[in-house]
């Protein structure tokens, strides 16, 4: 997938933007992913931590985590680090 961040999105921290990319991807392919596990290779350690532990101190990122596409995938999302 590729694209540009909107002017409003460009003002966010890179961790938020990478989490937003995960959200957009899961939302876009939600029908194809139904009933499947997702292995996510993530190079951003903060995003790895947020997705694995399902928590962050950032209110904006918590709103993303609570989005239906990520909430439904909670049990089926496996996050691996890229080294």
pLDDT tens-digit profile of 27-44? 888 888 777 788 888 889
Query: 21: Cβ–Cβ under 8 A, 6 or more apart, which residues?
Result: 1
Residue 7 predicted with pLDDT over 90: no
Residue with tokens 């999302």: 77
Cα diameter, the chain: 35
- Report which of 29, 35, 70 is spatially closest to residue 52, judged by C-alpha positions: 70
> Residues 51-80: what's their mean pLDDT?
80
Per-residue pLDDT, 39 = 83
**pTM, to two decimals:** 0.79
Per-residue pLDDT, 58 = 94
């Amino acid at each position: 997938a590729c694209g540009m961040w909107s002017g409003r999105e460009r003002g966010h921290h890179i961790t938020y933007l990478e989490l937003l990319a995960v959200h957009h991807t899961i939302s876009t392919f939600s029908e194809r992913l139904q009933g499947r596990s997702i292995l996510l290779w993530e190079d951003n350690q903060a995003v790895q931590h947020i997705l694995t532990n399902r928590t962050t101190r950032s209110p904006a990122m918590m709103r993303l985590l609570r989005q239906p596409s990520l909430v439904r995938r909670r049990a089926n999302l496996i996050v691996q680090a890229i080294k």
